[in-house]
Amino acid sequence: MDFSLINLEIMTAVLGLGVLVLGLTLPDKLNKLISSVAFWGILLILVYSIVILPGQTEVFNGIYHIDLYGRFFKILFLAAAVLVMMMSRRYTEKIPRQSEFYGLVILAAVGMMLMASAAEFITLYIGLELMTISFYILTAYLLKDKLSGEAGLKYLILGALSSAILLFGVSLIYAMSGTVSFTGIGMALGNQPAITAGLVIILAGFAFKISVVPFHMWTPDVYQGAPVPITAYLSVASKAAGIAALIRFLLTAVGPGELALDLNLLLAIMAGLTILVGNLIALVQKDVKRLLAYSSIAQAGYLMVGLTAANDYGLKGVLFYAMVYVFANVGAFAVTTAVETNTGGTALESFGGLSKRSPMMAAIMTICMLSLAGIPPMAGFAGKFYLFAGAIQSGYLWLAIIGLVMSMVSVYYYLTVAKVMYIGTSSCDTPLLVSRGAATALWICVLATVLIGCYPGPLAEFAGLAIKSIM
Amino acid sequence: MYDNILLATLLIPLLGAVLIMWMPASRHQLIKYTAAAGTGISLALSLLVALAYDKDVGGMQFVLTIPWIKDLGVNFALGVDGISIPMLLLTTLIGFSAVYASWKIVDRAKEFFVLLLILIAGVMGTFITTDLFIFLLFYEVVVIPIYLLVIMFGSTKRVTKEYAGMKLTIYLLIGSAFLLAGVIALFIKAQAVSGTASMDMAFLGSLDYPIGFQVWVFAFMAFGFGTLLSMFPFHAWSPDGYAGAPTAVSMIHAGVLKKIGGYGLIRIALTILPEGAQVIAPIIAVLAIGNIVYAALICLSQKDLKYIVGYSSVSHMGYVLIGIAALNIVSLNGAVVMMFAHGVMAALFFAMIGNLYEKSHTRNIDDFGGLAHQMPRLTAGFMIAGLASLGLPGMVNFVGEFTIFVGAFASFKAITVLAISGIVFTALYILKSLGTMLFGPRNENWDHLQDVKGVEMIPLLVLGIAIFTGGFFPFILMDFINGGVGEIVQHIGALRIGGMM
């Protein structure tokens, strides 16, 4: 057994635990060092994950797959973690127990990395729980803030419920097939009602994590209550982790055509509903954090479109879109964080006159949100092109039309924010105070969004290779 | 030596925008000169393109192809033919004039000119690319700068500028959603038919699609492009949008941006899906009557100058639509000339309105009277635009309208006759409103108004010259257009070939 194959996971876990230990052992005045250790550590791991060239192997008797697909998502999680840490520097200055904050962010990343590579339900479940339990704590991190506590509790109850549902589904499948490994399940799948029920219940469990309608109810409250950097992390990384695990499960275990129910149609209906509900409710939001929460529900719907299509373009689109979604959404949340730390709120009015106070911030917010809406030359456009091309190729023209029309409708609420920033007024004229880390994160987000949008070739190729490695 | 000329034409305005971004906001004079230089060089280059284009050879020239997205078969491909050249010229002419029409902008000039230059480059991109994906990219790029320009610099009269901007944006985007769905379906179908993934317009046009597929995809595209071209009944954004927009945006929007709709219908929808076009064309022709007659009737009762020109542009787009729907070489020629003609005319109209509004702060025609006494040059500008609008011989608009009617009569008799009646209404509302406003006894209230002078003359001169040159020497334009349209009609093959102009 060659443990160097899972170097990435080992390093990240060691870093996460190390940060926790440092927090306990270092004297208080050196506490500031912790955020630096965490940040530089995770950055190095990100660089390592980009430069290493692991082969295509299975470890631990096939329950853990090392492949390009897993690597793609690991890069995504690490990049998200890096960006989130950069933007939370100033934010965490106010809160105690920094080591726990950073430690949990890293441990959540470890959980997601496990999810992306797990090829069997027990490992997947461990990864999932590691991720969600870290998030329960992070969501409720602002102990003195009532909303944050409420969000944490809500997330805990509903998250535990959904984990239970997932486990129930797995147990049904296990009862019928006698195995929890994806390939084993794939061989045993048949037309029995229990299998169908198990699949649907598993799907529901995942749908909760990805916040797909009708399992999305927790999202707005949790996103609004959680500390903004955590909301950003939750919305991009935990969603991507759920999608990553779901794709691997569906592709490995569920072959086409043998099931009693049309799983793809079910996915298509869920995707369509998610897009509709997310976008339509976002139209009337008055708080930017909440608006972004609903928009992130809609984004989950777009990702589901690619999953429904289940062909080359669609799945490539999911990977591509998940990656560009990281930059666009973290960018938008980073601006929101800056606004919150400066004005004390995230209501629409707090963004008033932002273009006069900090023209770059306003421009970045606009660009990131337009990428979410899929307006070229931002990266979201190419992503949606792949997703909907996949949907149309698989015959889901109606789904593509819903998606495209609702993307355009979503421009309305994104532009409402732009409107406030550009012609709204503010009592204060000084530029927003932003830490250097947050400013760098913003620039990375906006540059990635525009550059990938103008020249999507390389990322599309990488996504294509990644998806091929498990097809 | 001309290999990269199109790329340069496209990138120079963008370069200007980037330069302006680094300038301090207080140096608005420098910012304006940079914007003027960017659009000016671009104009010169596009004239050079027109001169250097070899009409005897025809086809796509100055072709530049850079591989872009491999798995979608997308190339960053530029090239112009006889149809794109007039459109390119139109863009650069109006872009250059629009900068001068905005010379008075001081507050937030930096943002204004950055967005304006991005807008101009975006519009230009749609006309000179030969790749469908890149076309879509540019097509949607333009929407957002327009929105920001309208809400930041627009005017609130009958509708608020926020409302106008949002209406404009959402209408066009919903249209483009269907266009996108059509294009993606086309791309997938082409891949299924030919086995290669490609977004090259010529390649897509060379394939044979089943008729049912052609019909619905053409319908989707017609809806998308039609919304942009303010096809009845999807035209409601146009008058409100122009009324709310600042002068330069109205000029570019009415002048060129709308024409992307007509251009797309001919270059993309018609060329790639000719059989679908034959099924849908009669519907477009009927809707076009809605444009021509209904919008003209509304114009008769309008008092706000921008609404008059806004509705009149809806009405004029009806001619373009009929020209396209008639599907023969003459009518298509006419449609392209008409797009050019209407572009310069509408831009001149909006430039004059903007100028007058800046000084008098009203756009209501009843407030004015006898303006010719105080502002003879402005009056001349209004008269040129107005007479061009009603299609007086000697102006390029006459050439367009006449050609369209000759061509369309071969295809639709009754509809063409109805369309011609639109000219009467046009004459009625143009002469009535211009007469009230410009002529008659001197109105003392407006004695303080200064006539157009200095840099304000540039839009009037540039666009006026274009109108007369096109009117007196129509062959300059016609030679290009006839070549380009001829190739398309030949390519479609199945269509009737009408008599030559």
DSSP string, A285-308: --BHHHHHHHHHHHHHHHHHHHHH
Question: Which of B137, B177, B187 lies at the smallest CB-CB distance from A408?
Answer: B177
A382–B176 C-beta distance less than 8 A: no
Contacts of A407 in chain B (CB under 8 A): 177
Tokens of A86: 């950069």
Helix (H) or strand (E) holding A56: none
- Judge whether B31 is closer than 8 Å to chain A, CB to CB: no
> Rounded to whole angstroms, how far apart are CA atoms B381 and B352?
7
Amino acid at A352: G
- Contact between B244 and B155 under an 8 Å Cβ cutoff? The reply is yes
> Rounded to whole angstroms, how far apart are CA atoms B308 and B29?
33
H/E/C letters for each residue in B172-229? HHHHHHHHHHHHHHHHHHHHHHHCCCCCEHHHHHCCCCCHHHHHHHHHHHHHHHHHHC
B185–A411 C-beta distance less than 8 A: no
Residues contacting residue A11 through CB under 8 Å, at least 6 positions apart: A45, A48
If DSSP codes are grouped into helix, strand and coil, which group holds residue B66?
Answer: strand
Across the A/B interface, how many CB contacts are shorter than 8 Å? 91
Contacts of A412 in chain B (CB under 8 A): 166, 170
Give the predicted TM-score (pTM) of the model: 0.92
Segment A228-266, tens digit of pLDDT: 889 999 999 999 999 999 999 988 887 654 555 678 888
Q: How many CA atoms lie within 13 A of B336 on its CB side?
A: 33
B70–A355 C-beta distance less than 8 A: no
* Residue B496: per-residue pLDDT: 42
- Contact between A305 and A274 under an 8 Å Cβ cutoff? The reply is no
Q: What is the ipTM of this complex?
A: 0.89
> Rounded to whole angstroms, how far apart are CA atoms B123 and B460?
22
- Contact between A295 and A410 under an 8 Å Cβ cutoff? The reply is yes
Which positions of chain A have pLDDT values less than 50?
257
- Judge whether B112 is closer than 8 Å to chain A, CB to CB: no
* Residue A1: per-residue pLDDT: 65
* Residue B497: per-residue pLDDT: 41
B174–A415 C-beta distance less than 8 A: no
* Residue B499: per-residue pLDDT: 36
Which residue of A406, A408, A459 to mutate against B (max B Cβ within 10 Å)?
A: A408
A423–B151 C-beta distance less than 8 A: yes
* Residue B500: per-residue pLDDT: 36
Which residue of A312, A324, A358, A423 to mutate against B (max B Cβ within 10 Å)?
A: A423
A408–B174 C-beta distance less than 8 A: yes
Interface of chain A toward chain B, CB-CB under 8 angstroms: 316, 355, 359, 366, 370, 375-377, 381-382, 385-386, 388-389, 392-393, 397, 400-401, 404-405, 407-409, 411-412, 415, 418-419, 422-423, 455-457, 460-461, 464
Question: Which of B140, B147, B184 lies at the smallest CB-CB distance from A376?
Answer: B140
- Contact between B160 and B243 under an 8 Å Cβ cutoff? The reply is no
* Residue B142: per-residue pLDDT: 86
Question: Which of B162, B170, B181 lies at the smallest CB-CB distance from A419?
Answer: B162
* Residue B498: per-residue pLDDT: 39
- Judge whether B106 is closer than 8 Å to chain A, CB to CB: no
- Contact between B327 and B281 under an 8 Å Cβ cutoff? The reply is yes
Question: Which of A370, A388, A456 lies at the smallest CB-CB distance from B69?
Answer: A456
**Rounded-to-5 percentages of helix, strand, coil across chain A:** 80, 0, 20
Tokens of B340: 């050019």
Q: How far is A365 from chain B (nearest CA, A)?
A: 13
* Residue A275: per-residue pLDDT: 94
A423–B152 C-beta distance less than 8 A: yes
> Rounded to whole angstroms, how far apart are CA atoms B266 and B329?
11
> Rounded to whole angstroms, how far apart are CA atoms B284 and B291?
10
From B173, which residue of chain A is nearest by alpha-carbon distance?
A: A408
- Judge whether B166 is closer than 8 Å to chain A, CB to CB: yes
A411–B169 C-beta distance less than 8 A: yes
Contacts of A421 in chain B (CB under 8 A): none
Q: How far is B151 from chain A (nearest CA, A)?
A: 7
Segment B262-288, tens digit of pLDDT: 999 999 998 899 888 888 999 999 999
Contacts of B151 in chain A (CB under 8 A): 419, 422-423
> Rounded to whole angstroms, how far apart are CA atoms B243 and B307?
6
- Contact between A390 and A305 under an 8 Å Cβ cutoff? The reply is yes
Backbone angles phi, psi at A453, to 5 degrees: -65, -40
A464–B133 C-beta distance less than 8 A: no
* Residue A256: per-residue pLDDT: 53
- Judge whether B8 is closer than 8 Å to chain A, CB to CB: no
Which positions of chain B have pLDDT values less than 70?
1, 494-501
Question: What stretches of A71-156 adopt beta strand conformation (E)?
Answer: none
- The residue with tokens 């707005």 is A220
From B192, which residue of chain A is nearest by alpha-carbon distance?
A: A393
Tokens of A1: 């057994």
Contacts of B148 in chain A (CB under 8 A): 366, 418, 422
A-proximal residues of B, 169-208, CB under 8 Å: 169-170, 173-174, 176-178, 180-181, 184-185, 187-188
* Residue B495: per-residue pLDDT: 44
Distances in whole angstroms, Cα of residue B335 to Cα of each of B398, B469, B485:
12, 18, 10
- Contact between B495 and B327 under an 8 Å Cβ cutoff? The reply is yes
Helix (H) or strand (E) holding B276: helix B274-289
B137–A376 C-beta distance less than 8 A: yes
- Contact between A183 and A177 under an 8 Å Cβ cutoff? The reply is no
Which residue of A302, A320, A378, A404 to mutate against B (max B Cβ within 10 Å)?
A: A404
Q: How far is A283 from chain B (nearest CA, A)?
A: 13
Preceding peptide of B282 cis, ω within 30°: no
> Rounded to whole angstroms, how far apart are CA atoms A28 and B351?
67
B71–A460 C-beta distance less than 8 A: yes
Question: Which of B144, B162, B174 lies at the smallest CB-CB distance from A370?
Answer: B144
* Residue B1: per-residue pLDDT: 58
Tokens of B30: 């420098």
